[in-house]
Structure 1
Amino acid sequence: MKSPTKIGIVGTGFIAKGLIKAIQTQSDIIVSSILTRRKIEGMGSFPNKELLTNSVWEIIENSDLVVECTGDVIYGTKVIDKVFSASLPVITMNSELQVTTGSYFANRGFITEAEGDQPGCLAALNENILQMGFKPLVYGNLKGFLNLNPIKEDMEYWGKRNNLSLQMVTSFTDGTKVQIEQTLVANGLGADILQTGLLRPEAEDVDSGGIYLARQAKEHGSAISDYLVCPKGPAGVFITAEHEENQRDALRYFKLGDGPYFTLIQNFHLCHLEILKTIRRVVNGGGVLLNNTAEPAISVGAVAKTKINSGEKITHGIGSFQVRGEAVRIKENKGHLPIGLLNNAVITRPIEEGQFITFEDVEIPDSLALKAWIETETKSLNLHQVNK
């Protein structure tokens, strides 16, 4: 019998722990090593504790494939760089990393986002409907609630209630997470955005919201990546697409409506459980599901939620009470600071509420992630100039 594929896992948070438990029930894949920055002696209840290591070289030596799911841009970038030095394929569930440094890795080795979070689910749904002849106009995410500037007390309450970190629940609530996800979708699936920060219309239901966005995309002249604020919508994704005129009667019979725009919904995303599908896809030679591409057109800039004074420190951008992230076209925002790089930064001149932060406004520590972004932005801007 063929030996099981050895999976190295980077991270020990919610996603990593769930994936480890899921792999325990499989016969064709095994967890071989788990990389953590924590003190291992204090992780007594962690599953497969005997596989924990603080050494990236140990995970490389013991793995056929590495799954990176730390949610940390700076650290994850350093780890992937070392994994690539051993020519191992990498699967991420880390859209924050993908939109910041994923393009740096796209032509250096094999890197793909996994199914499970909304971007990977949209990529898989896209593959499915393209094979049926649909022509996508809207790659859509769904959000039940949005508060661009939530207060800390509310976020602490919801974090404890849902067993989420303060940083995570804040990035969900203020829209940073969905802006990042839809930026990855735009770059990976070759779509545009309608405007800075996305259009993000409110909708009573997914179908009507999808049709509204499809009309905007048709007028715009290209497929778009965006999301609906839809309190009654499912925790999933959707694509609104066109089809051939001669299929209208059949699609009406199939309960997709009269057209010309048809909304196809996946009403769930199951995070770590769906990573198993992407692992097998890669093992079986299925290729990249989704990544940020080598020359992305869209980024996620940092926008001040409030006035920030010179000398103030921002320990983290994603999930901060000082800034949030908004999707921007790179060619129109040269020098903007991607929110994924805004870690342990010091503001060097006053920033007004609503202002995008640029590299000229901050001092940030040197890192491989910073180098990776500078290379990515240069390539993207040069491509635009050539095309122009």
Structure 2
Amino acid sequence: MFDKKITFDSFIRGCISALILILLYVLFKSIKGALLPFFIAWLLAYMLYPLVSFFQYKCRLKSRTVSIFVSIAVVIGVLTGLLVLTIPSLSKECAIFVQIAEKFITQEAEMAQTPGTVPYIISDYLNDMDLQQYVNGEAFTNTLKETLPEVWDLFLGTANVVMSIFTLFIILLYMFFILLDYETFSEGWVNLVPFKHRQMVSTLVSDVEKGMNSYFRGQATVAFFVGVLFCIGFSIIDFPLAILLGVIIGILNLVPYMQLIAFIPTILLALIKSASTGENFWYILGMALVVFAVVQIIQDAILTPRIMGKITGLNPAVILLSLSVWGSLLGILGMIIALPFTTLLLSYYRRYIELNERKQKVKAWREGKKNS
């Protein structure tokens, strides 16, 4: 594997290649904010293209533009239908949650079974505050000084909302133009690669596409079933915001182990339900944890093996390390692509090792044959 001699020329070329890679990484980090909308638009276009193709070629809509708008309208219609079906139950749960929260705040519920005295501490703090001191003399000036930064933060928040809307518009614009010439982008890019590297790059990109395709479809299917199971489980134990919490956990499940974040709202909801009903807090939280455990067992024992198969084949420790490394490099986007890219890199590394071992065996065989 290391029999090839390192010459001064090869050393310089290696250093230059490493320097170019470092510069490309620094450049990518500096323009990541500008590239992220394009990558998101490309991902959306990749997901929407089969539907656009169906309307254009199967339904014989000759105009690609019309096909794109019809596809977007269908997706919006489906999402709207899902919202119409789920909003009534969500509204009912939210109304119940508001009632529970009001009881919790006004201390109309029995607090004997609730651990700690958080509401009492808040109430005592508010009662002990002399609000008149904030509107008298010098204190008013100090209060104004403290309030102005908050007003400025509110202004910045409004500006962020406007920028978010503008970014969404840019993403949709990117997506439209990518879909307009999708075949040119997906098939014509290989002509930009030098001929001697064309086959290798084409094979690499094809492997990446297959790996990403199989992983995201499998993970999205698993996340969907996990979300449904959590909705059912929380509804059975009459947990507050059961459907909403189940949907959130399902979405978080798109990234492995991210559903653990849901423990925080689960504990808060259990605390509020305990305060409103007088039930034992630990019993409510224990039932919620039972739902987590049962769904996790179903996911690990049935869903993931049958749907994902051995797409990744990574050890949980490697998965966490991969999420940490890619997340630190590329943020949320890095966490999303972490597992398929890590699997692909390990696959190519194994191929490299196997190729070198075969070369060593062939070389040893030839030397043995030559000596004999």
Q: Shared topology, TM-score over 0.5?
A: no
Higher RCO, Cα 8 Å, sep 6+: 2
- Which structure has the greater CA radius of gyration? 2
Q: Which has the higher helix share?
A: 2
TM-score normalised by L of structure 2: 0.24
TM-score normalised by L of structure 1: 0.23
